[in-house]
């Protein structure tokens, strides 16, 4: 199965990535080949075969509900690109147009 540029654009949108027109063409070609490769699985009979998502047999791991010291707020903010008054700062959610963020 080949994949179209339109589909690649749609997937990029889901994944919050953007591609220039030339990148889009290249990715469409490469993804198409990779999808052809993975679609060889169609030849395997999996009627009634269980699905494996994880080889670990454990379902839930519980711990005692005991309060433990948390991480200092100051530490949590150390890697934040932009902060103000102890909050993470981001641009306006709605586009401000020419005024910028």
Site for another protein in 61-100 (CB under 8 A): 61, 63, 71, 75-76, 78-82, 88, 90-97, 100
CB of 58 to another protein, least distance (A): 7
Should residue 42 be labelled a site residue for another protein when binding is judged by CB under 8 A? yes
> Residue 22 and residue 26: Cα distance in Å, rounded?
6
CB of 12 to another protein, least distance (A): 7
SS (H, E, C) 32-94: HHHHHHHHHHHHCCCCCCCCCCCCCCCCCCCCCCCCCCCCCHHHHCCCCCCEECCEECCCCCC
Q: Are the beta carbons of 31 and 8 closer than 8 angstroms?
A: yes
CB of 39 to another protein, least distance (A): 8
Q: Residues in the site for another protein, rule: CB under 8 A?
A: 3, 7-8, 11-12, 14-19, 27, 30-31, 33-35, 37-42, 44, 46, 49-56, 58, 61, 63, 71, 75-76, 78-82, 88, 90-97, 100-101
């Amino acid at each position: 199965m080949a994949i179209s540029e339109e589909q690649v654009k749609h997937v990029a949108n889901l994944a919050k990535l953007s591609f220039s027109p030339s990148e889009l063409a290249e990715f469409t070609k490469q993804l198409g080949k990779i999808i052809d490769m993975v679609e060889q699985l169609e030849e395997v009979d999996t009627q009634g075969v269980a699905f494996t998502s994880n080889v670990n047999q454990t379902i839930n791991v519980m711990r005692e509900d005991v309060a433990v010291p948390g991480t200092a707020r100051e530490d949590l903010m150390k890697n934040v690109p932009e902060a103000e008054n102890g909050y993470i700062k981001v641009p306006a959610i709605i586009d401000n147009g020419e005024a910028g963020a």
